[in-house]
Amino acid sequence: MATAVETLRDTPFTIGGRTFHSRLMVGTGKYRDNDTMVRAIEASGAEIVTVAVRRVDLDRTKQAGVLYHLDPKRYFLLANTAGCSTAADAVRYARLAREAGFNEFVKLEVIGDQETLLPDVQGLLEAATILVREGCKVLAYTNEDLVTALRLEDAGCAAVMPLASPIGSGLGLLNPYSVRTIKRRLQLPVVVDAGVGTASDACLTMEQGVDGILMNTALAAAQDPVAMAHAMRLAVEAGRTAYLAGRMPRREVAVPSSPLGGMLD
């Protein structure tokens, strides 16, 4: 007998011509140690992992590069431009990342406000346009604004990444309507990036029909990151499956589940 899941036909998760099995992407920052990071990433089932570009520590007093711990043959490395607050800086970091030689994908961030880490959408569009022209596959971290998402699509991005809530906040999906609208209106993959705090946030996000989620702090700052990574893997699958299954309509009044007939006198 076929299980329920076998009756579902999901479309492949393809970004910039590459197809992935897992719809969960994870970051590699802020873990208490590298062993926990590696085990959490394994438990998440993620194939795409994000990394940042920084100066080599010439004094070697701090940890070595992340690639000493993660096998770039096993994971698809997605470099980010985190920390950049101008289009010019973001382009510079993206070029350095590309030169590292793993792939032409970049998660483009241009931060416009240091307290909220909300994106500078004008700088983002400017940087995206330059990098697309240079052949980069740009995944653009943006806010949940439809018009910006449409402009990023027009600019030739490979995916748009609207936030659920501010980076590292764990506030969950604050604006399901806007994220749903972006997904409905764009042809591009929509991957929600930032803000999920726990498994229900991830599930609710995937139930909006988006193509995937990227998270970092929700795993790294959990009391047990490996267990949370497992929970997130299940939540992303549950949310995606529920979306494909199609939820029942909402009603303002009750409808009995048991027959009205056959009641005793």
Partner 1 sequence: MSDTIDITLNGERRAVTRGVTLLQLLASLKLDPRAVVVEHNRTIVRRPALGEVRVAPGDAVELVHFVGGG
Size of the site for partner 1 (CB under 8 A): 35
Does 9 interact with partner 1 (rule: CB under 8 A)? no
Does 213 interact with partner 1 (rule: CB under 8 A)? no
Does 165 interact with partner 1 (rule: CB under 8 A)? no
Does 97 interact with partner 1 (rule: CB under 8 A)? yes
Q: Give every strand in the sheet of 191-193, ordered side by side.
A: 24-27, 212-215, 191-193
Does 190 interact with partner 1 (rule: CB under 8 A)? no
Does 56 interact with partner 1 (rule: CB under 8 A)? yes
Does 31 interact with partner 1 (rule: CB under 8 A)? yes
67 to 86, contacts with partner 1 by CB under 8 A? 67, 77, 79-80, 82
- The active-site residue out of 62, 107, 137, 183 is 107
109 to 148, contacts with partner 1 by CB under 8 A? none
Does 52 interact with partner 1 (rule: CB under 8 A)? yes
Q: How far apart are the first and last CA of the chain?
A: 41
Residue 8 has φ and ψ, to the nearest 5°, of -85, 140
CA distance 139 to 21: 18
> Least distance to partner 1 from the beta carbon of 200, Å?
20
Q: Which stretch binds partner 1 (CB under 8 A): 1-9, 64-72, 232-240, 255-263?
A: 64-72
Does 55 interact with partner 1 (rule: CB under 8 A)? yes
Residue 138 has φ and ψ, to the nearest 5°, of -100, 120
> Least distance to partner 1 from the beta carbon of 120, Å?
18
For partner 1, the closer of residues 99 and 115 by Cβ is 99
Q: Which is it for strands 212-215 and 191-193: parallel, antiparallel or unpaired?
A: parallel
CA distance 224 to 218: 10
CA distance 100 to 82: 16
3-state secondary structure (DSSP) of residue 233: helix
3-state secondary structure (DSSP) of residue 77: strand
- Element holding 152 (H helix, E strand): helix 146-154
Residue that the structure tokens 């940042």 belong to: 52
Contact 191, 214 (CB under 8 A): yes
Query: Is 107 one of the annotated active-site residues of the chain?
Result: yes
Q: What is the set of active-site residues?
A: 107
* Interface ranges with partner 1 (CB under 8 A): 27-31, 37, 50-56, 58, 63, 65-67, 77, 79-80, 82, 92, 95-97, 99-100, 167-168, 194, 214-217
